[in-house]
Amino acid sequence: MDVSGANLQLDSFEELAIPLFDRLYNFAHWLTQNRDEAEDLVRETYVKALKGFSSFQLGTNFRAWIYCILRNTFLTSRKGLKARMTVPIDFDEEEEGPESAIERDTPETLLLARSGHELLQKAIDELPLHFREILLLCEVEEMSYQEISDTLAVPIGTVMSRLSRARQTLRNQLRPQLQQEAGLRILRGTNHGL
Amino acid sequence: MVCESWKERLDIYLDGELPDEEMRTFDAHVRNCPSCSADALSRVQFRRAIHLAGKRFTPSAEFRNRIQQSIASKPRRAFRLGWMLAAAAAVVLVVGTLTSTYRGNRSDRDQVFSEIADLHVATLASASPVDVISTDRHTVKPWFQGKIPFAFNLPELQNSEFSLLGGRMTYLEQTPGAHLIYDVRKHHISVFVFQERSLPARLTDSSLKPAKLSFNMETWSQGGLRYFVIGDASAVDIDSLARLFKTAS
């Protein structure tokens, strides 16, 4: 046998890591909000992951593991530290009334579908980091609560409450913009479907 | 509010994170409660919009190459001893002739699947995966009129776990076709439809089976059209969607 353990390890890493490249980059760009910084973040993540791959247990959740590395790398960067400073210390302990989570957005949702992605992308961009990342992990990366819990290193209960508040915050941020957009459309006479 | 307690857990239900028993109870309630079903629909639309908007950034090809090269494993030598290499060379001369046709076919096959998989992945990674966003087949199908040189049927999805997200035009080997995207339990599945006679022969081999692919895929020919169903969903789901298409066509 001339197949070295190192080569086997490299093969496994490549097989696991390359398919996640586009998604990791997308997530990194959302976090950093800058192409160059996103590239640096992804590059550093791959370097760290490759270096630490021997500690990764094959068969466990590689995706959560590498996302966790990317997020931790970001949080220790200058931009990440700055973003953390803006998070209220007790943001997960805030109680949320049930009513705020059950508002309907049918007209806004319809308008959202018509207005393209720009309004939504802008609103996601403006979310605080802790809401932006959990929303992206759930809605875009389609991670389970357990995977999100592993990635963010928080209990599942926190995942549920933070996710609920992230969705609500996004709705609240969108509402005035969508109402304004709806008004403009009515003025222009282009809002026949609503 | 009669449904307040249900609605408090509606997001968890839509995330598929309730225990099985509670999931079934919730299913039954949402089906029979107009208020909760309207709320659920609204939330699903909102999430779908976030999902599409969230796939916003694509890495440059140059950056992708750099990363791939930095972690690519080095080719391994199968034999260490010189005499074994010499013997292998002699064997290659004989066996090579016999296997060249097979390898050629396999290479073509793999290329077909790579191209289909590339189309699938590139579309899902794009900021606007679909040009016509609708869950209604009666909206999506007419959208293709005048854009592609053939017509096709879309299956009825009621009583199935699949939902239609939308469609877009696509090209395979310069041949125009329809690309439809479906959702099943958070997995996206692409269905490609092309006119069979317009495709190169290597793409229309009915015995096509992926050699090694991280996606599941099915392909068949029906009514002069070539169908490809591909995605990271289970083989059972891919087969179910393929059967729905076969029945509709």
Look at residue A92 and tell me if it is in a domain.
Answer: no
Band (B204; pLDDT cuts 50, 70, 90): low
Q: Are A110 and A41 members of one domain?
A: no
Q: Which one of A86, A121, A154 terminates a domain? A: A86
- Would residue A93 count as lying in a domain? no
Token representation of residue A185:
């459309």
Is the pLDDT assigned to residue B52 strictly greater than 90?
no
pLDDT-derived band of residue A74, with 50, 70 and 90 as boundaries?
very high
Boundaries of domain holding A76: 1-86
Q: According to the model, what pLDDT value does residue A68 have?
A: 94
3-state percent helix, strand, coil for chain A, nearest multiple of 5: 75, 0, 25
Q: How far apart are CA B58 and CA B43, in angstroms?
A: 27
**Claim to verify: residue A140 and residue A191 sit in the same structural domain:** yes
Identify whether residues A20 and A42 lie together within a single domain: yes
A94 located within any domain: no
Query: Which residues of chain B have a CB within 8 Å of the CB of A50?
Result: 71
To test the contact with chain A by mutation, choose from B17, B44, B120 the residue with the greatest count of A C-beta atoms within 10 A, namely B17
ipTM of the modeled complex: 0.79
Determine the Cα angle at A178 with ends A175 and A182, to 5°: 135
CA atoms of B129 and B131, how far apart (whole Å)? 7
Residues A173, A104 share a domain: yes
Do A82 and A108 lie in one domain? The reply is no
Of B8, B17, B80, the CB nearest to A101: B8
Whether residue A105 is found in the same domain as residue A80: no
Retrieve residue A169's tokens.
């915050």
CB pairs under 8 A between A and B: 128
Query: Could you tell me the pTM of the whole model?
Result: 0.55
Q: Which of B158, B107, B58, B45 is nearest to A21 (CA)?
A: B58
Pair A79, A154 in one domain: no
Q: Is residue A64 situated within a structural domain?
A: yes
Beta-carbon separation of A104 and B42 below 8 A: yes
Judge if A167 and A123 occupy the same domain.
Answer: yes
Q: So what's the pLDDT on residue A100?
A: 41
How far, in whole angstroms, is CA A100 from its chain's centroid?
22
- Classify residue A18 as left (phi > 0), alpha (psi -120 to 50) or beta: alpha
**Does the pLDDT of residue B90 top 50, yes or no?**
no
State the Cα–Cα distance between residues A81 and B44, nearest whole angstrom: 34
- Among A129-143, B103-117, B123-137, B179-193, which is the least confidently predicted range? B103-117
**Distance (Å, whole) CA A105 – CA A111:** 10
Ordered by where they begin, the domains of chain B are 4-43 (no CATH), 105-248 (3.30.200.100)
Residue type, B20: D
Based on the structure, what is the number of domains in chain A?
A: 2
Q: Is the pLDDT of residue A147 over 90?
A: yes
Domain of residue A149, CATH code: 1.10.10.10
Nearest CA in chain B to A117: B53
Q: Render pLDDT for B92-148 as a digit per residue (tens, 0 to 9).
A: 444 444 344 334 444 555 666 777 887 887 777 766 778 887 778 888 888 888 888
Quick one: pLDDT at residue A9?
A: 64
* Residues in chain A closer than 8 A to B17 (CB atoms): 144-145, 160
pLDDT at A113 (0 to 100)? 55
Chain A residues with CB inside 8 Å of B59's CB?
A: 21-22, 25, 39, 42
Q: pLDDT grade, residue B169 (50/70/90)?
A: confident
DSSP state of B214: S
For residues B18 and B20, give the distance between their C-alpha atoms in angstroms, rounded to a whole number. Answer: 6
- Confirm if B191 and B180 have CB atoms less than 8 A apart: yes
Judged by average pLDDT, the poorest of A131-135, A174-178, B88-92 is B88-92
**Do A72 and A127 sit in the same domain of this protein?**
no
SS (H, E, C) A86-144: CCCCCCCCCCCCHHHHCCCCHHHHHHHHHCCCHHHHHHHHHCCHHHHHHHHHHHHCCCC
| Cα A73 from Cα A47, distance rounded (Å) | 11
A2 and A74 fall within a common domain = yes
Does A189 share its domain with A110?
yes
CA dist B238 and B216 (Å) reads: 7
Are A137 and A49 in a shared domain? no
Q: State the DSSP string of B69-119.
A: HHHPPPPPPS--SHHHHHHHHHHHHHHHHHHHHHHHHHHHHHHHHHHHHHH
pLDDT at B71: 79
> What is Dmax (Cα atoms) for chain A?
76
Is residue B149 a contact partner of residue B173, using CB atoms and an 8 Å limit? no
Q: How many other CB atoms sit within 10 Å of the CB of residue A193?
A: 9
A:127-156 residues touching chain B, CB 8 A cutoff? 135-136, 138-140, 142, 144-145
Cβ contact A25–B58 (<8 Å): yes
Distance CA B116, CA B120 (A): 6
